[in-house]
């Protein structure tokens, strides 16, 4: 494909996603009345003992923005809000546009850094990704997680696993999307990657205690464990939302989670690192109790990887479906269960059909890394 044609295809993808999101939502996003309010308030309260005090946060929201919203409470770790604290020195509107520009810049850096046979393919995948475009529209920070993931892979495939682990620790921003990473490290015996990840995570957690004292974990946990409404469960593409359709939801969720973890570990043990990481991310998304449309954007590099010929026709088809926006329209119309089933199906297909493709897939990613060098 020529560069002009690639640009046109990218623009078409963005247009299709914007059409799905809708003009009203985009107008609201442009005015800054989206999830950025949560990050702005968190930045304002960085180091404050009331960071996770619900009533206190609601009062600050009313004071600074003119309205309060219990769905926009701070739910990131304290170190992250400390990093964002300079943003709170700006008035709200300039801060919002700076935030949006930073998110877009992070996506561009991700495309440039993430190991991939074709930059054009990765750029197309980003532009056609409804989760990613939606995350930008609502001011969510998934782009920063994507950048951390891409930078970690960049370091890993250049023989720097310790550095890769340290960079990967920045994904503590949304740690619930990487729950099965310990399985990947254990199954692949990547001890240096694990050491870098552990060291970086310990440093960030230490910074959290340094800026917020020793009392914040209890209040933070109470926010995370707030029960979800039926409406929230309906838009979650994960096992938590899927299990909610059964009478004994808790038991069903535990059983499904154990099965998913087992499937992921099976793939980790049999397949090369890149395929194992893809299974880890899909499984982590399914296990997370708080997975929303925008969180599915972390699958972009894995879905691009799984559309290669070496993955086999069945897995390629499943990955392509999940790389296009239509698989996520179900989330938009509150049928997240269907998207969760598609993710679960992709994971099962990887376990059942990819064993024979392992050597070629492993060689391919090595070659991609060498080509980029």
* 164, 61 contact by CB (below 8 A): no
- Note the pLDDT of residue 33: 78
pLDDT for 342 equals: 96
Q: pLDDT tens for residues 130-185?
A: 999 999 999 999 999 999 999 999 999 999 999 999 999 999 999 999 999 999 99
Looking at every residue in the chain, the average pLDDT score rounds to 89
Per-residue pLDDT at 366 exceeds 50: no
CA contacts within 13 A on the Cβ side of 152 = 24
Alpha-carbon distance values, 310 to 348, 358, 363 (Å):
17, 8, 10
pLDDT at 212: 87
The conformation of residue 174, written as its DSSP 8-state character, comes to G
Q: What percentage of the chain reaches a pLDDT higher than 90?
A: 66
Q: Which two tokens stand for residue 59?
A: 């009062």
Residue 22 DSSP SS3: coil
At 258-317, the pLDDT tens digits run 999 999 999 999 999 999 999 999 999 999 988 999 999 999 999 999 998 888 899 999
Q: What is the pLDDT of residues 55-113, one digit of tens each?
A: 888 888 888 877 777 778 888 999 999 999 999 899 988 999 999 999 999 999 999 99
User: Which residue in this structure is represented by tokens 């078409």?
Assistant: 12
Query: What's the Rg (C-alpha) of the chain?
Result: 20
Render 118-167 in DSSP notation, one character per residue: -HHHHHHHHHH-HHHHHHHHTT--HHHHHHHHHHHHHHHTTT-HHHHHHH
3-state helix, strand, coil in the chain (%, to 5): 80, 0, 20
């Amino acid at each position: 494909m020529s560069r002009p044609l690639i640009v046109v295809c990218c623009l078409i993808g963005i247009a299709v996603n914007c059409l799905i999101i809708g003009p009203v939502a985009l107008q609201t996003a442009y005015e800054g009345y989206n999830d950025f309010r949560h990050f702005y308030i968190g930045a304002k309260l960085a180091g404050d003992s009331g960071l996770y005090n619900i009533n206190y946060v609601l009062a600050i929201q009313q004071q600074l923005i003119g309205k309060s919203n219990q769905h926009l409470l701070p739910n990131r770790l304290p170190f992250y809000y400390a990093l964002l604290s300079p943003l709170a020195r700006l008035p709200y509107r300039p801060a919002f546009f700076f935030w949006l520009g930073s998110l877009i810049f992070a996506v561009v850096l991700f495309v440039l850094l993430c190991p991939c046979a074709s930059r054009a393919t990765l750029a197309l995948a980003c532009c056609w990704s409804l989760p990613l475009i939606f995350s930008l529209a609502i001011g969510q920070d998934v782009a920063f997680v994507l950048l951390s993931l891409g930078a970690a892979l960049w370091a890993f495939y250049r023989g720097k696993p310790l550095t890769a682990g340290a960079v990967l620790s920045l994904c503590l921003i949304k740690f619930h999307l990487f729950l099965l990473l310990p399985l990947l490290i254990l199954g692949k015996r990547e001890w240096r990657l694990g050491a870098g990840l552990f060291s970086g995570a310990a440093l960030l957690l230490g910074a959290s205690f340094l800026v917020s004292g020793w009392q914040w974990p209890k209040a933070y946990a109470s926010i995370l464990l707030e029960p979800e409404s039926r409406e929230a469960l309906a838009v979650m593409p994960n096992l938590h939302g899927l299990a909610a359709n059964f009478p004994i939801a808790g038991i069903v969720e535990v059983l499904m989670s154990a099965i998913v973890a087992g499937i992921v570990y099976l793939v980790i043990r049999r397949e090369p690192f890149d395929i194992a990481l893809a299974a880890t991310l899909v499984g982590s998304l399914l296990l997370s109790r708080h997975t929303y449309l925008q969180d599915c954007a972390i699958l972009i590099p894995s879905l691009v990887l799984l559309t290669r010929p070496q993955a086999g026709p069945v897995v390629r088809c499943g990955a392509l479906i999940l790389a296009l926006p239509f698989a996520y329209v179900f989330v938009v119309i509150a049928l997240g269960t269907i998207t969760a089933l598609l993710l679960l199906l992709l994971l099962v297909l990887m376990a059942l059909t990819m064993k024979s493709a392992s050597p070629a897939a492993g060689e391919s990613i090595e070659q991609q890394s060498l080509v980029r060098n």
